[in-house]
Amino acid sequence: MISYKEKIADILAPQIEGLEKEEIMSMIEEPADSKMGDYAFPCFKLAKVLRKAPPMIAKGIAEAIADNEAFDKVEQVNAYVNMFVSKTEFAKEVVSEAVAKGDAYGRSEIGEGKKVIVEYSSPNIAKPFHIGHIRSTVIGNSIYKIYDFLGYDAMRINHLGDYGTQFGKMICAYRRWGNKEDVIKEPIKTLLSYYTKFHEEAENDPSLEDEARAIFTKLEHGESEEVELWQWFRDESLKEFNRVYDMLGITFDSYNGESFYSDKMPRFVKELADKGIMEEDAGANIVRLDDYNLGTALITKSDGSTLYITRDIAAAVYRKETYDFYKNIYVVASQQNLHFQQWIQILEMMGYEWARDCVHIPFGLVSLEEGTMSTRQGRVVFLEDVLNRAVEQTKQIIIEKNVNTENIDQTAKDVGIGAVVFNELSNYRIKDYVFSWDKVLNFEGETGPYVQYTHARACSILRNAGEEVAAKAREGFDPQYITGESAHKLIKLIYDLPDVIVEAGEKYEPSIVTRHIVDIAQGFNKFYHDEHILVDNEDEKIAKVALVMAAKAAIKNGLGLLGMNAPEKM
């Protein structure tokens, strides 16, 4: 699609001495108030060059370009040249492209040939998949979808927490207080109860911690009994995790977790030693990062066992050597900021020039109304319970309101789960928040169900218009019928979507898409309210149906980038 800022820069360039086209383009603004035009050019910067007052410069430029067919109106207001684009040309350009591209509207090839890895979700094996995990899961999934939509060769990795001393604790607890039948019946909840009991007992009997560490050491050394139990816990956990992923419509290209890198770590411990980066301290191996204000990083403990940082170094090098990534993105809570700063700095010290291509995307934490979540204390809200409750409540609303849908269960799933996902992605990812059932399951206002309902409304209009009218709209339409104020505002929002997607990718911020599709939905509903769409005049009806099709495509594609479905009936 044509870039209107570039088009305007081409028109302005002959009138402005001393500025290149790119600089002119960067100066063009979009006024918050549409009464001030679609675009505005400030002339303050030209005062020194032209030795004139900015308002005089603006007046001269406005008069010089006033007759250009690209504009309906050009006016000078103080030091600004305010430009109102030709509504008919703008409508024809934007709506035609959105209708023609449909599900591909907003896609680009800017990432062609570049590999992007997105690591997200990454729950711990044998522990609950709780509401705290939803942030990494849905933010990461949306970032993956955005990069895929932008043409990157995007890859999804679920770096499972399937290694570490917690498995020594879990195996210890299972041997002391567990039984196989209970684990088979309810794997995660049963293993959680063992883990909670271990910490309760360890407060009175600290020797349990030593026992757990000894068990983990055996696991690291490949002792068959420990490996067998660990593999069983892993397999049972994945069954439960995948049930939640299926509900969310999320899949992964790799489940290589921490254990995958256990045999790859000695190479890097040796490399750190050989390069003089690592030193011994009370039997442990450390890297001092005081020169970077990052404290001290622990590489191996005094008993020789490895830590997260060692595994993350091994994982990053493995991914670079295996996939030659352009970016290696980690969607992990802000609690881990120091950890990521440390190991990326260590990678750089080791001489890996691509170290800064590893990007940590932090997000705020979820707490419960009764306090911070704690797996050790068993104070968690299971994510599966949240999703099931959302679906069930949505189903009740559908039945009560006698909603027109051919598949109540599927619509309830699309809308209920969509409400939870949209709630997660509606605010800046870095914000902490308190989980509230009332807020998650509130379908009023600027919510996922509101946007989905708007999509369904557009589908209903198209069904009533009939395929013959839709086919004519795809062939072409007279844009003069969609130049009213609400139509023009809606078209501008549709036009902005591709740039919004690029911005969301650059900032790793799905909420930018979320807020924009709320704006499109509101713009569409204003257009629906202001104008009768299925009118008797055939040409007018075809043009308005074309705009409905364009808005439908934009909303559907935006929802898709959030990992949400767009029901056609609600």
Question: Domain 115-368 sits in which CATH superfamily?
Answer: HUPs (3.40.50.620)
Q: What is the pLDDT of residue 130?
A: 85
Q: What is the pLDDT of residue 318?
A: 98
**Predicted confidence (pLDDT) per residue in 416-451, tens digit:** 999 999 999 998 999 988 877 777 767 678 899 999
**Predicted confidence (pLDDT) per residue in 76-114, tens digit:** 999 999 999 999 999 999 999 999 999 999 999 999 999
Query: Would you say residue 471 has pLDDT above 70?
Result: yes
Query: Would you say residue 303 has pLDDT above 80?
Result: no
127 given a catalytic annotation: yes
Query: Would you say residue 387 has pLDDT above 80?
Result: yes
| Mean pLDDT to the nearest integer, 346-368 | 94
Q: Which class for 109: exposed (0-12), middle (13-18), buried (19 or more C-beta within 10 A)? A: exposed
What CA–CA distances, in Å, run from 101 to 1, 105, 472, 501, 545? 11, 5, 16, 16, 16
The residue annotated as part of the active site, out of 133, 169, 413, 544, is 133
Query: Quick check: 453 and 287 in contact, CB under 8 A?
Result: no
What CA–CA distances, in Å, run from 171 to 166, 168, 179, 208, 218? 9, 5, 11, 11, 11
What CA–CA distances, in Å, run from 83 to 312, 480, 482? 52, 19, 19
Query: Quick check: 457 and 569 in contact, CB under 8 A?
Result: no
Query: Quick check: 42 and 80 in contact, CB under 8 A?
Result: yes
Number of H helices, E strands in the chain: 22, 12
Residue among 101, 91, 42, 205 at smallest CA distance from 483? 91
Query: 4-85 sits in which CATH class?
Result: alpha beta
| Mean pLDDT to the nearest integer, 341-360 | 98
For the chain, give the mean pLDDT: 93
Q: Which of 67-71, 99-103, 218-222 comes out lowest in average pLDDT? A: 218-222
Q: What is the pLDDT of residue 125?
A: 87
360 given a catalytic annotation: no
133 given a catalytic annotation: yes
Q: Which class for 152: exposed (0-12), middle (13-18), buried (19 or more C-beta within 10 A)? A: buried
Q: Please, which pLDDT band fits residue 373 given cuts at 50, 70 and 90?
A: low
Q: Tell me the residue ranges of DSSP E strands in 78-176.
A: 80-85, 115-119, 153-157
Q: What is the pLDDT of residue 164?
A: 80
The residue annotated as part of the active site, out of 92, 127, 395, 413, is 127
Query: Would you say residue 376 has pLDDT above 70?
Result: no
Nearest-angstrom CA–CA distance, 34 and 232: 62
Query: Would you say residue 209 has pLDDT above 70?
Result: yes
Query: Quick check: 37 and 90 in contact, CB under 8 A?
Result: no
Q: Please, which pLDDT band fits residue 154 given cuts at 50, 70 and 90?
A: very high
Query: Quick check: 428 and 511 in contact, CB under 8 A?
Result: yes
Query: Would you say residue 129 has pLDDT above 80?
Result: yes
Q: Which class for 394: exposed (0-12), middle (13-18), buried (19 or more C-beta within 10 A)? A: buried
Query: Would you say residue 499 has pLDDT above 90?
Result: yes
**Percent of the chain scoring above 70 in pLDDT:** 98
3-class DSSP state of 81? strand
Residues, the chain: 570
Most confident option among 13-22, 145-154, 211-220, 366-375: 145-154
Q: Which class for 328: exposed (0-12), middle (13-18), buried (19 or more C-beta within 10 A)? A: buried
Q: Which class for 197: exposed (0-12), middle (13-18), buried (19 or more C-beta within 10 A)? A: middle
Element (H, E) at 340: helix 337-349
| Mean pLDDT to the nearest integer, 288-299 | 96
The CA dihedral of 477, 478, 484, 489, to the nearest 10 degrees, is: 40
Q: Please, which pLDDT band fits residue 307 given cuts at 50, 70 and 90?
A: confident
Q: Which long-range contacts (C-beta less than 8 Å, at least 24 apart) are formed by 275-278?
A: 275/349, 275/350, 275/351, 277/346, 277/349, 277/350
Domain limits, the chain: 4-85, 115-368
Q: Please, which pLDDT band fits residue 377 given cuts at 50, 70 and 90?
A: low
Nearest-angstrom CA–CA distance, 109 and 117: 17
With helix as H, strand as E and coil as C, how does 233-251 read?
A: HHHHHHHHHHHHHHHHCCC
Q: Please, which pLDDT band fits residue 378 given cuts at 50, 70 and 90?
A: low
| Mean pLDDT to the nearest integer, 202-226 | 92
The dihedral built from the CA positions of residue 91, 93, 98 and 99, taken in this order, carries a sign that is positive
Q: Please, which pLDDT band fits residue 507 given cuts at 50, 70 and 90?
A: very high
Residue holding tokens 């299926």? 246
Q: Please, which pLDDT band fits residue 262 given cuts at 50, 70 and 90?
A: confident
Please tell me which residue, 405 or 488, carries the higher pLDDT value: 488
Please tell me which residue, 283 or 367, carries the higher pLDDT value: 283
Other beta carbons less than 10 A from residue 503's beta carbon: 15
Residue among 126, 254, 271 at smallest CA distance from 190? 126
3-class DSSP state of 362? coil
Query: Would you say residue 407 has pLDDT above 80?
Result: yes
The residue annotated as part of the active site, out of 130, 339, 395, 516, is 130
Nearest-angstrom CA–CA distance, 123 and 130: 9
Residue holding tokens 């939905």? 521
